[in-house]
Amino acid sequence: MKTEKVVLSFIAALLGLLVAASAFYFFQITKKTPAPQTKIVSNITPTPSLVPSIYLDLKQPKDEEVVDDKTITVSGKTGGNAVIVILINGIENVTTPSLSGNFSTPLTLANGQNIIEVISVAKDGESKSILRTVTYSGEDF
């Protein structure tokens, strides 16, 4: 009698355990975990406003950049009918953008700090300029 009781209670407990475990298992399987909240970082590039007839977006070079090559590329985008004047330490280089407004010009730097001013002049006389400081240095520090 005593043995029967023990066996029965053991079987009952085991059955209960199995039911609980199965219930938990199904709960975990069907549970929907919320998607991780990833922060979407978008690089907002300044889009030109439609109000002024001229805009200028300079892709290269970056401001305060230090380079170990004397030749750099100045590139960007402006209005298709504009004239681009690039002044390196006051010495001008004139170029014209493509029909889509893209321009890219290789230029030679002087030793040390170079002030690069890119001016876009539109046909109607409007203009816009961007200033960059680029340093040419072969020093290792």
Q: What is the CA radius of gyration of the chain?
A: 34
* DSSP E strands, 2-126: 56-60, 65-67, 71-78, 83-88, 91-95, 102-108, 112-121
Least Å distance, CB 85 to other proteins, is: 6
CA distance 114 to 135: 6
Which of residues 1, 4, 29, 47 is near other proteins by CB under 8 A? 29
CA distance 124 to 122: 5
Which of residues 60, 66, 70, 73 is near other proteins by CB under 8 A? 66
Residues that bind other proteins (CB under 8 A): 6, 9-10, 13-14, 16-17, 20-21, 24-25, 28-29, 31, 33, 36, 38, 52-54, 63-66, 83, 85, 87, 89-92, 94, 112-113, 115, 117, 119, 121-129, 131, 133-135, 137, 139, 141
